[in-house]
A = this chain, B = another copy of it.
Amino acid sequence: MKRYFVVLISFLIVCFETYGQEALWQGEKIISPEIHKDNSVTFRLIAPNAQKVQVTGDFLPAGNSGKVDMMKNENGLWEYTSTPLEPEFYSYSFLVDGLKINDPNNVFLNRDIASLHNVFLIDGGRASLYKVNNVPHGSILQCWYNSPTLQMNRRLTIYLPPFYGTSQKEYPVLYLLHGMGGDEESWMERGRLAQIMDNLIAQGKVKPMIVVMSNGNASQEAAPGESSLGFYKPEMNLPKIDAKSIFTDMNEAKKLLPLLKESDKNIKSFPDIVNFMDQHFRTKKEKSGRAIAGLSMGGFHSMYISKEYPDMFDYVGLFSAAAIVPDVSIPPFENVKDKLKTQFEKKPALYWIAIGKEDFLYKMNENYRRMLDENGYKYTYFETGEGHIWKNWRIYLTEFAPLLFLN
């Protein structure tokens, strides 16, 4: 009897060694963020040597310049308690003497290009859709497809609905695209895609469907760290332009062309992804079983892919889209108006446009809708407050998905 306790203690040595690394304050474990019953939140950090500690994040009301001071308690524990917060999926960071750091007591982070932010969730209302609830869960598949058009192997994230594995059914497919700086992981991480789909399917509000999240950066195989480029610092592939002279100096303007070329490649090669899905998964293989939607640049892609292949997608969603229809003959803009005409003559089951009132692309969307109106092209419009933020894109997904595949 004694001997196996000796062994168990050996077990525990490792445990306690690890355990010892945890942040303790007067022997108590630090909890941060702590969400109280009234939905106020306390943030905590042990930093006895710091002169000033602040917390910054999208949970703060506007008008406080985006950060608030935390108060130093005895023994170097800094604290800040927020006012009661609306249900939402929030992100935050600490500023320690000006240095932006993650909360060492919170292991949950979201990546935004080259920076990481801690996250927390205030449950309730629509935000309960962003939570893992005790409902049947879909499966997440990360796999690689071959693009004959791009001559590359590329990574995809696929959501398979609950019971996909046990049914023999064919499922409709939503192709869901990210914005600039994003990749095939963005909708899963910041968009809470799996949670939203699981919950809406469980509530019977959304038809069980496959969701495909591709990488919209045509020259990129996979998200940073997931390709043979190894670990590197993610960045926007942006040309260095002089914004002031871009309208007068054509050479400055031309620096933007690679961006368009990249988008054009994504648009023209998109059927490779649809073919891959139709070959390897139990998909509905006709227009009425396919939707495409995306945010920002992904909205632009959804708009251009759906008009480029007017028999491919019956449902189109433009979330805060760069809804640009210029009179130029550079790809992907060639004959855009003719192609839109063809697309709308074929009467898509749903052409859905959503944007926030404060979005910098609001005016562009207004112009686009006017153009659609003038031509008698039917669409559905959904408007929210605020701007070009993930909060809106999660809302748009929860509004858009229930409208899909009703025919």
- The CA of A286 and the CA of B230, in the complex, are separated in Å by 38
Are A10's CB and B364's CB within 8 A?
Answer: yes
- The CA of A16 and the CA of B137, in the complex, are separated in Å by 37
Interface of A (DSSP majority class): loop
Partner of A228, one of B114, B134, B246, B360: B134
The copy count of this chain in the complex is 2
Partner of A143, one of B109, B139, B179: B139
A100 at the interface (CB under 8 A from B): yes
A: contact size bracket? 35 or more
A328 at the interface (CB under 8 A from B): yes
- The CA of A324 and the CA of B2, in the complex, are separated in Å by 12
Within 8 A of B (CB), among A102-142: 102, 104-109, 111-116, 119-121, 123, 131-134, 136-137, 139-142
* Chain B proximity mask over A227-262: 1 for CB below 8 Å, otherwise 0: 110110111101001010011000001001001100
Are A233's CB and B29's CB within 8 A?
Answer: yes
A47 at the interface (CB under 8 A from B): yes
Which residues on the B side are within 8 Å of A166 (C-beta)? 280
A85 at the interface (CB under 8 A from B): no
Which residues on the B side are within 8 Å of A10 (C-beta)? 322, 360-361, 364
Are B140's CB and A142's CB within 8 A?
Answer: yes
- The CA of A2 and the CA of B179, in the complex, are separated in Å by 23
Are A256's CB and B22's CB within 8 A?
Answer: no
Are A236's CB and B18's CB within 8 A?
Answer: yes
A49 at the interface (CB under 8 A from B): yes
Extra inter-chain contacts (8) besides given A22-B114, A99-B101, A104-B116, CB under 8 Å: A8-B260, A10-B322, A10-B360, A11-B297, A18-B181, A102-B102, A119-B231, A139-B143
